[in-house]
Amino acid sequence: MIFENTLEFAKHLDLQDPLHKYQDEFIFPKVQGKKVIYFTGNSLGLQPKRTKAYVDEVMNDWANLAVEGHFYSEKPWWDYHERFADALSKIVGALPSEVTVMNTLTVNLHLLMVSFYQPTQTRYKIICEEKAFPSDQYMFQSQVDFHSQNLGIQLEDAIVEIKRRDGEHNIRLEDVLAKIEEVGDELALVLIGGVNYYTGQVFDMKTITAAGHKVGAYVGWDLAHAAGNIKLELHDWNADFAAWCSYKYMNSGPGNASGCFIHKKHHNNAALPRFAGWWGHNKERRFKMEQTFDPIQGADGWQISNLSILSLAPYLASVDMFDEIGMDALIQKRDAITSYLEFILHEIDKEVDSSFEIITPSNPTERASQLSVLLHGEGRSLFDYLMQNGVITDWREPNVIRLAPVPLYTSFEDIYQFGQILKAGIQS
């Protein structure tokens, strides 16, 4: 498609967009009395209007049924999480038995590492990407420290970061594969963010997973910026495990529940360690209060505590919306609006006496709903100008702005208007 930097063209694209109507399903903050242009769905998604009804239903059941709500509410609390299985399995490319919801993201990654990071004195290394999200870095460090007392392994040896080449912003696939082969028999775990939070780079998860397995390592994925954003086929890719948050592209509310994937091949492995709790115990015998743990066969067997239903209700509202639309339609719109945003950025760059660089890969297969823009000759003042004029975006030191157009609630007109505000901010 040949794009145009005009309001008429943007409105024409919106008229042709079958998902444009979903913008009315969300509540937008306002700046100076006007609805904002919201580009931070990669940090916290907007609130769907339907969310309140899902939460109110739980509140009403609690008020009217109290403890009996566990079994007699319209959506009984004791199996509330099971309503996620079919829809979530479609979002992440899994079997329904391979997904569950529980806890929050880093908590779940720690719990999954109990099962899938089992270092020995000879096989103990973890491969991750350079500039992984800090929570992942802290997690790796603490996991290695925990095991080092018994194994004598050193932190600087155990964590292997795949680095960008000098002068490049993104990590090359061949460098990931070469590092996996180099570490070889010493590699215990590959755990990488499926989409890098800083640059927006999407990794080739299928190829990396196969490479990790080839040398005998487990392979897991932090899908914080991937779930609900890119096409995932976790079962077919043979990933061992994955976890994701629900409050970014899946719009479930701040700090909300995490989703987990554990491949079917591990469900019946009694030798695989895990931390246990009563909500992962055999569902049919859970309330018999037995002393010996008998895990549910499936991802639900990794649950520990009963779930926060008030947290799950907003997530279910969003997952139901995703199920209505389907990932294929979302990805088609995602690719179109991201490409249009890229075009607008380049057009504005031509029109003003300034320069900025998109550090997200230009190849559509290596990016999703995010463009990270490195500002040359511009600083924090431009970000402040955008915020003051109704463009909600994200600033990362020293001079990167992350822009995440979300297909559910970003319009083509939003992107055109952003370009005009950006130009005015640079010229001011």
pLDDT at 20: 97
CA distance 77 to 69: 6
pLDDT at 242: 98
State mean pLDDT over 173-182.
Answer: 98
The mean-pLDDT minimum among 211-215, 242-246, 374-378 falls in 374-378
pLDDT at 232: 98
Instruction: Characterize 53-83 residue by residue with b for buried, 16 or more Cβ atoms within 10 angstroms of its Cβ, and e for exposed.
Output: ebbebbeebeeebeeebbeebebbbbebbee
Q: What percent of the chain has pLDDT over 70?
A: 100
State mean pLDDT over 68-77.
Answer: 96
The mean-pLDDT minimum among 54-58, 313-317, 379-383, 404-408 falls in 379-383
Mention every residue, 6+ apart, whose C-beta is less than 8 A from residue 351.
Answer: 423
CA distance 55 to 92: 25
pLDDT tens, residue by residue, 76-94: 999 999 999 999 999 999 9
pLDDT at 152: 80
Whether 271 has a pLDDT exceeding 80, the answer reads: yes
pLDDT at 132: 87
State mean pLDDT over 309-320.
Answer: 97
Q: How confident is the model at residue 380 (pLDDT cuts 50, 70, 90)?
A: confident
Q: How confident is the model at residue 156 (pLDDT cuts 50, 70, 90)?
A: confident
At 285, the amino acid letter reads R
CA distance 219 to 158: 16
Q: How confident is the model at residue 353 (pLDDT cuts 50, 70, 90)?
A: confident
* CA angle (364, 46, 97) in 5-degree steps: 70
pLDDT at 183: 97
State mean pLDDT over 360-367.
Answer: 95
Q: CB of 108 within 8 A of CB of 260?
A: yes
pLDDT at 378: 72
pLDDT at 149: 80
Whether 354 has a pLDDT exceeding 90, the answer reads: no
**Three-state SS string across 321-357, please?**
HHHHHCHHHHHHHHHHHHHHHHHHHHHHHHHCCCEEE
Q: How confident is the model at residue 128 (pLDDT cuts 50, 70, 90)?
A: very high
pLDDT at 308: 95
Give the Å distances, CA to CA, from 60 to 65, 73, 82, 306.
8, 9, 21, 20
pLDDT at 181: 98
State mean pLDDT over 333-337.
Answer: 97
Q: How confident is the model at residue 125 (pLDDT cuts 50, 70, 90)?
A: very high
pLDDT tens, residue by residue, 318-330: 999 999 999 999 9
State mean pLDDT over 143-167.
Answer: 90
pLDDT tens, residue by residue, 103-112: 999 999 999 9
Whether 270 has a pLDDT exceeding 90, the answer reads: no
State mean pLDDT over 31-41.
Answer: 96
Its pTM stands at 0.96
Q: What percent of the chain has pLDDT over 90?
A: 89
pLDDT at 153: 84
Cα atoms in the 13 Å half-sphere on the side-chain side of 393: 29
- Which domains does the chain carry? 7-49+326-427 (3.90.1150.10), 75-325 (3.40.640.10)
Neighbours of 15 (CB within 10 A): 8
Whether 362 has a pLDDT exceeding 90, the answer reads: yes
pLDDT at 287: 87
pLDDT at 84: 97
Whether 342 has a pLDDT exceeding 90, the answer reads: yes
Placement of tokens 């230009």 in the chain:
362
Q: How confident is the model at residue 175 (pLDDT cuts 50, 70, 90)?
A: very high
Q: How confident is the model at residue 50 (pLDDT cuts 50, 70, 90)?
A: very high
Report the SS3 class of residue 263. Answer: coil
Report the SS3 class of residue 411. Answer: coil
State mean pLDDT over 398-424.
Answer: 96
